[in-house]
Structures are given as C-alpha cells and as structure tokens.
Structure 1
Amino acid sequence: MQRLFAVWFLLWVILTAEQASALTLLSPLPDQVVREYVKISIPIKELPPDFIASKDEAPDKGRPFLTLYIGEEGQENFVAAISGDAGIVKGDIVTFYWDSKAPYRDPKDPKVERYYKDGRYTLRVQLHDSFGKVMDSAEVSFLLRNKIPRSNPAPAVWLFNRLAYGESHTYRVRAFVQVFETVGVGKSSGIGLPILGGLGLTSDCKVSLRVEDVRPDGIYMLRLKMGEEGFVSSFGKRVRLFQPGEPTPELYRLVDKFGNVIKRNMFSRQAKYSITDILPVLPRFGVKEGDSWPSKCNLKVEGITDTIPLTGTSLLDSFEWQNGRECAKILSSWTGSSAIAIDNGRIRSTDSTINANAITYFAYKTGKLVRSEITLEFPAIILPGAGQLEGAEGAGVITQPYSELTSPVSPTVPEPMMEEPVGPYTGRRTSSYPTPSTAPSTEYGTGVEMSKKGVVQIRVVMQLEK
C-alpha cells in the first residue's frame, strides 16, 4: 500500500511540475475575439535569459526562439518562427503580433497559399532552444472575426476613389521572390518545396501620389514620384535603385474616379519613365458580394521586372477590417505577357504568359486604397549558380529587368532633356536602375541538362502609409 501511494505521489509531482513549467499566454485570452494583427504576450521571466539579445551580442549567435501553430484543434499549421528581436518589450512582458490575414502553406501542397477564415482556432506557442529542441509550450482557443457584419440581404455599394485637390498619399511597395523546383515528369510532375533559400530577393520602394488637378466627371491629374531610398537586395546585399542626388522617376497621369487610366504619361519629358499602377480599377455600377467586372493593372516591380500589362476580372468577395478600416475585399485574376529574367539572367521565364492573382482592400466609405497584395507566377529555367553571391558587396546580386530572354538590356545612358518646356519636370533624365556590376555569368553553361525547371512567384504588397 505504501509503495502504491509512493508511485501515485511521484506521478502527481511530475504532472504538477509539468503544469507549472508551461508557458503563460497573457494574450490572447481564452475565447477572445480577435481580428487583423493578433497580440501574443508572454511574461519575460518565463523565457530563457538569452531569448532577447543584448546590444553587444554577436548577431550570428544562436538563440532560443518561438514557433506559432494555428488551426482547428489537433490540426494546427505552422505559421511562423519568431526570434526575440521581433518582440516588443514593455516592462516585464514581451509582445509579438501575428497577421491573421497573411497566407500560410500546407507542407503537403507548399505552392498553394491558404488563408484563415473567420471561426474558432487554437493557437499553440512552442519555445525552442538554440538547437531547435522544444523546451515548453502553451495553447489557447480564440475566435477570429475579420469580416464586417452586414444585413441580409445587404444593399449594393458603389466603389470609387474619392480624391481632393492637393491631397497626397504615400504607398510603400515591397516585393518578395520565391522559387519552387518542379519535380516529376509529364502528368506526374508537380511543384516541390522552395529552393535557393527563397532566393532572398526583395524590392522595397515608396511611391508618392498627389492630386494636381480635379476635372469634371471625376477625372484626376495625379503626380506620381518614386522615393529616393528604394533598393533591391539579395541575401541582405543591397543595391540602391537610385544614386544619391539622382532625380527619381516622376510623371503625371490622368485617371478617372474608377481607376481607369485615361493618359498614362501626360508629358513627353517623362515619357521614358514608367511607374506601377497604384489605384485599382473599380466597377462603374453598384456591386454586391459575388459581383464581378473587367479590370486591368500595369504592374512594375522596381529593380526586378519591366512593366507587365495585366488584364482579367475582379470580384467583390466580402467586407473586412484592414488596418482598422472597413474595407471591400476585392479578388482579381489577371494574365499578361512578358519575359522575365532575374539573378543575372540565371533564372529565366520559359513562357511569355504571366498569371497573377490579387487581393485588394479598398476603404469604400472614404474612397481610399488601403492595401493590395499581388502574386505573379511563371514557369522558369534555373541555371546552375542561381542564388549564389559573387564578388564584392552588391556585385552580381541584381541586374536590370529585361524583356528578351537572350540578352540583358544595356544600361541606360543619361540623355540631356529637351530644350522646349513641355512639362513641369526640370531635371536630367537618368537610368531608373543601378548599373549591374557583373554581366550574366557564362561559366555555369546554358545547356538544358545543367539546369532545373521551376516556378517563380513574386509577391508584391502595396500598403498605404499616409
């Protein structure tokens, strides 16, 4: 009897010790209703001392980290790995944020982006040591509510841009490139896991939009101008889009209130420049959820692609919260024709057809674009050496986009401006891209037997900043 009691006592000690060591989630609370960016708070005392790095610590030192799993109970999907650097420390609490509207991928089908719908989910937070071993974990159930409740049946809404003379906004445009390897042959072929470390290729720039004139029937003359601090990078190696003191692209565009471009570049002096479309094409009639309309977009990813004309249809999917605003969520499906080559020509599209899908959040009450997410996809040939850095910093990382598969575009030579005053721009016209410091390498060969087939995805995010 005493032996049996001792066994039960030992088991109780083990269980209570495990419960005591479990992480404490201060947020979200059980059954809490959340939306958009979900706050995840943990007491610092429950994390290892080296979880948050000190200022003088070597950046490459391995440290503990967190992983987040979210899904229906027992079917949680991995959504993020978080280091202490991503946390916000306030007092004795560290806080992280999970974007509930960001896509996630199922390991069984990694190419397809999936999204969380409104409903009940379980959040599991795991604490790992610097070697990846799970040290502790915690779970909580919450209710996701991103959609805006509407009456049933709901009335139709009119979607159009509401702009005033002198009004100005800044949009941040970021692009992320990911490469997937094609596996299998023929009908059994499919898309494998990401390769080249996701390539680590990104583009980041800002576009300012100012209303210079308001004309009858809701027609606007907009001035679009690229910011000076734009860059492209690969594995942390940055190349500026524009050199210090160099005039950045600027043009004047005529559009109507529904986002249709009437004249893409009003002055011949800026004819050489092109800037991606910012405003979405909206329907000329009231729409309800499920209604669709023809749309188009001239997309340019600075430092990565030339302008790609895309056409297709858009559909009003639902009404959701985005950045604290009531928005119409618009889904678009487009196709276009363009030849794309990146990474010094070592990753090249094999088909001129480009497929694109977009999610647009439009604040319909104020008539403002809040956010747009566009994903381009195309088959590609991946030559040996792709994704490898060469030479000095910035060398061999980024080249100009080019429209022919056989050879890259030559660097643009600055030209003097015309003498006649045909537009408001007074600077010199220069290249919109940095001059590549290395030409496409030939040492890797170009034979098909030395290359891989893959699929390239370019995700472009346009976000209203002010």
Structure 2
Amino acid sequence: MGYNQGLEATMKRVAIGLLMLCSAVALAQAPFTIVRPQDGARVREVVQIRFPIRSVPQGGFIGVTINGKFVEAVAPAALETDRERGHYIYRWDTKKLNVPDGEHTIELTLYQSPEGGSARILARSAVRVQVENEIKVPAEGIPLRYRWVPGRTYRYQVKGTVKEINEVQYSGLAPEETLIYDVSFRGELNVMDFRNNLGLISWTPMPPAIAITGSGQVETITSDRMIPVYQEVETTGRVLYQVSRGADAVQQDVFYVWTADLPLLPPRRYKPGDRWGATITLSNPLESGDPNEIGLKIPVAAHLERFEWEQGYKCAKIVYEFTGNLPRSINLGGVELDKPKSTIRRVVYFAYDIGQVIRVTTTLQLEGIARQEQFGGGFGTPSAPGAPAPPGFGGRGGVGADDEGGMRGPRGMRGPGIGGVGIPGAPGGGGAPRGGFRGGGVQTGARNIINRFVREVDMRLIGIF
C-alpha cells in the first residue's frame, strides 16, 4: 500500500512538471498568424490587423505587404499593444491611403535579425478582406436634415494652422515652410431647445485652448476669456439669429468665441454627383471680436462626392470649392492680406442617420507676394532687396546663387505684435537687411519667388453626450 501511494505521488509530480514545462513553452512562443481580421472579413476605414505578441521573438520585426506590394517594415516597439488579449496591432487606414473598395490581400512576414547577421524569414500569414467604405444608396437618394435633439451635446476637437510657403520657381529647391500660427482646443455644440422647426443651440469652446505663434510663443486661453455663442438654426443649417449674452459679463479686454460654419443643406433628396450653389464662412477657428456677427459668406460650388463611412457613421461626403479673389481682406494669425487670390477646398462629412456634422476639413490657400530676383551674375555685388512683407514680418533679402545654385539670403524676423509693413531690404523686427550676394559666373537671369499662405482647419467629432 505504501509502495503504491509513493508511486502515485511520483507520477503526479511528473505530470505537474510536464504541464508546467508545456505551459512555459506555450508562453515563450505562439504561432505567428493574423488573428484579426479573419479571412474573407468585410472591413472599412481603419483596419486593426492583430497578431500574437508571443509570436515575435527578440530581435524580430514585421514586414507589411498589401496585394503583393511591400508597404513597410515595423518594429514591435512601434506597434500598439493589447495586453489583455495579448495582441500587437498594426493599423491600416484604408481611407487615408485611398484604398479602393473590393478584395485585398493583407500579408504579414515575421523577420528576425540577429546581431551582426542578415534578416531571415521566420513565418508568414495572410488574409483576404473586402474593403467597403462606400455606401450604396437608393436610386431616389437620401434626404439630409439636421436633427436638433434637446439636451444632446456634441463634442469636437478643433485644430488649425497657418503657414507661409516660399518657393523659387524652376530651382529644384524644396519649398520653405514657416509656421505663423497654431491653435488647438475642444468645443461643445449644445442643443437647448427645438420647436417650430427651429433649433436653439450654443457653441462653447472648452478651456484650455493652446495657441502657438511662429516665434514659438505659447498662449494658454482659459475659461474666463471664453464665452458661448447662441444661434437659432433651421433644419437646413441656415442660421437665423446669432448672439452672445455672456459678453456683457466678461471682465476681460479680449474674449474668444467659437462657432462652426454649418453646411447649408437644401430640403431635398441627395445622390452622388449632385451639384448646387452654396456659401461658406471664413473665420479663425478661435477668434475674438463681435460674436453677434454671423460673418462674411463666400459663394462656392458644392457637390456630393459619395456616401461613405466616417468614424463609424454613415455619412454624405460633400465638397465645397472656390477659386478667385476674396471679396475683402483676411487676417491670418496677424498677417493681413487685402482681397487676395485664393483657392478654397472644404470637405464635410454629414452623418445622415443622426443629422449632424461628423468632420469638416478646410484648406485655404492665399497668394501672397510674387516677385522676381536675379540669379547668377557678377562677383561681389549685393543682390536685390526683398519685396515688402506682410504685416508683422520683416522684408526679405534677395537670393544669391552661383552656377550650381546658391543659397537664400537671410530672412527678416517677425516683428512684435501685428507690426508694420516690412520695408524692402530693411529689417522688420530684427531681420537682416539684405540677402546673399550674387555668385560669380554666367548670368542666369531672374526667377519668380512665389509666396503663399495656407490655412488648414480640422474639426472632428469626438463624443456625443
């Protein structure tokens, strides 16, 4: 009896040891395979490609191939991780990459690169998926209407930048970009009431807002300098009335407001390819001034490009475009341009199931100063002075060049505050008065210096409450 009990105990210990050994092996290595999406899955927007963390050994990395074309190699440290499920996550953004709808093959290759050695393939895994970003609509189209549900709040993330771009034509040099202004904040659209087919809504920026100037100065705008704006709006998006009653109570000399320019949707059914005339408002994302003014409307051409998914919502993608001179001056982070030639492109994603805007991106390109400067020429003669700069900026020096392409002269620095107009060849707020010197060699003639300003604003829904 004692012998049998001892033998049984020994066998149990052996079994437990084998089980622990197998568990250790399993924890050390898992098969390399794409866990999600599954083969034949229907996907859209950003696709999470998941595979086991334990399948990647030390020194391993992943090669990504789409439809037989190598895309990139990524190290595990650059991937998202889901520790709870034990997955690495590679994100494939089908919309950003303009991936067409239809079947596509995703393949991941596991490589290992030992120290001092070349990379070798350890395993491969592939799945086929159906990309379905576009939404098929009935032949009669879909009606687009705003839905103003009392008590509902829509929270947005807003980011805006203004850049100055300078380019020497036919020089082969990359355009020079300079940040003028950068702002980011969150804001809430609150639906307060709905009656007689009219919605009473408010737009409220949420503190803090962070604004960065081109000189690197950072300004934090707090709640005591922010006030809500109230609007009475139709279900078509047309604003009948706008006011800010908090302005009288604000003790600050300068206060800031935020309102989104709601796209106007004529009351009818819409189909892909539909075109109509519309208007848009151009304003800074977060601005100071009279909040009771609705603002200047600019006529634009609108067309419904297609119906597609955006951030998990069924949306109408509407594009607004304009090319021509603006009817009045515009301020870009302290730079004032008088009726400039402009190109505007605004893309609106309108979620027709919930009757609200999901995302709006606006790109405004303004033609600033175009001038000619001499390249090449005699030795030792100062180049021509720069043209007048916009307010707040010093004038630019000329551009000197030798036969092989020379360097740009020193640039004037931003003046304090709004500043005055830069004087040709003179410093504006500390800028160097002249550009480079003409190089020796053969005269190569004048080239155009193209000066542009670009403003980009992105407003994206991040929550509904």
TM-score normalised over the length of structure 1: 0.61
Q: Is the 8 A contact 1:338 1:353 kept in 2?
A: no
Is 1:263 matched up with 2:241? yes
Query: Which AA in structure 2 matches 1:453?
Result: I
- Separation in structure 1 between the aligned mates of residue 451 and residue 78 of structure 2, nearest angstrom: 33
Aligned to 1:285: 268
Matches within 5 A, 1:195-210: 195-196=176-177, 199=179, 202-210=182-190
Is 1:462 matched up with 2:447? no
Is 1:313 matched up with 2:293? no
- 1:209: Cα distance to partner? 1.4
Matches within 5 A, 1:16-415: 24-45=33-54, 47=56, 73-74=68-69, 84=77, 87-90=80-83, 91-102=85-96, 104=97, 115-123=98-106, 140=126, 141-151=128-138, 154-176=139-161, 182-185=167-170, 195-196=176-177, 199=179, 202-216=182-196, 218-233=197-212, 239-243=218-222, 246-265=224-243, 267=245, 269=247, 274-302=257-285, 309-334=297-322, 336=326, 338-342=329-333, 352-380=340-368, 405-407=390-392
Gaps of 5+ in 1: 1-21, 52-63, 105-114, 383-403, 409-435
- 1:23: Cα distance to partner? 7.2
Note the aligned Cα RMSD (angstroms). 4.7
**Cα distance change, pair 97–457 in 1 and its aligned pair in 2 (3 A):** farther
- 1:93: Cα distance to partner? 1.6
Deviations 1:387-417 (A, max 9, x none): xxxxxxxxxxxxxxxxx93249xxxxxxxxx
Identity %: 21
Query: Which AA in structure 2 matches 1:254?
Result: E
Query: Which AA in structure 2 matches 1:160?
Result: R
Query: Which AA in structure 2 matches 1:291?
Result: D
- Separation in structure 2 between the aligned mates of residue 324 and residue 361 of structure 1, nearest angstrom: 11
**Cα distance change, pair 97–184 in 1 and its aligned pair in 2 (3 A):** same
- 1:157: Cα distance to partner? 2.1
Deviations 1:101-144 (A, max 9, x none): 22x5xxxxxxxxxx333234455668899xxx995786855432
- 1:291: Cα distance to partner? 1.3
Query: Which AA in structure 1 matches 2:156?
Result: Y
- 1:458: Cα distance to partner? 3.6
Q: Is the 8 A contact 1:69 1:125 kept in 2?
A: yes
Aligned to 2:7: none
Q: Is the 8 A contact 2:227 2:247 kept in 1?
A: no
Query: Which AA in structure 1 matches 2:45?
Result: E
Q: Is the 8 A contact 1:44 1:92 kept in 2?
A: yes
- Separation in structure 2 between the aligned mates of residue 162 and residue 200 of structure 1, nearest angstrom: 38
- 1:31: Cα distance to partner? 4.7
Query: Which AA in structure 1 matches 2:46?
Result: Y
Q: Is the 8 A contact 1:232 1:303 kept in 2?
A: no
- 1:227: Cα distance to partner? 0.6
Query: Which AA in structure 2 matches 1:275?
Result: W
TM-score normalised over the length of structure 2: 0.61
Q: Secondary structure at 1:246's aligned position in 2?
A: helix
Gaps of 5+ in 2: 1-30, 249-253, 290-294, 371-388, 394-414, 420-427, 438-447
**Cα distance change, pair 332–305 in 1 and its aligned pair in 2 (3 A):** farther
Greater C-alpha radius of gyration: 2
Deviations 1:293-322 (A, max 9, x none): 222232434469997754312222222122
Deviations 1:211-239 (A, max 9, x none): 234342x222221111112213479x783
**Cα distance change, pair 201–41 in 1 and its aligned pair in 2 (3 A):** farther
Aligned to 1:398: none
Deviations 1:237-272 (A, max 9, x none): 7834413x5231321122211111223336594797
- Separation in structure 2 between the aligned mates of residue 45 and residue 317 of structure 1, nearest angstrom: 44
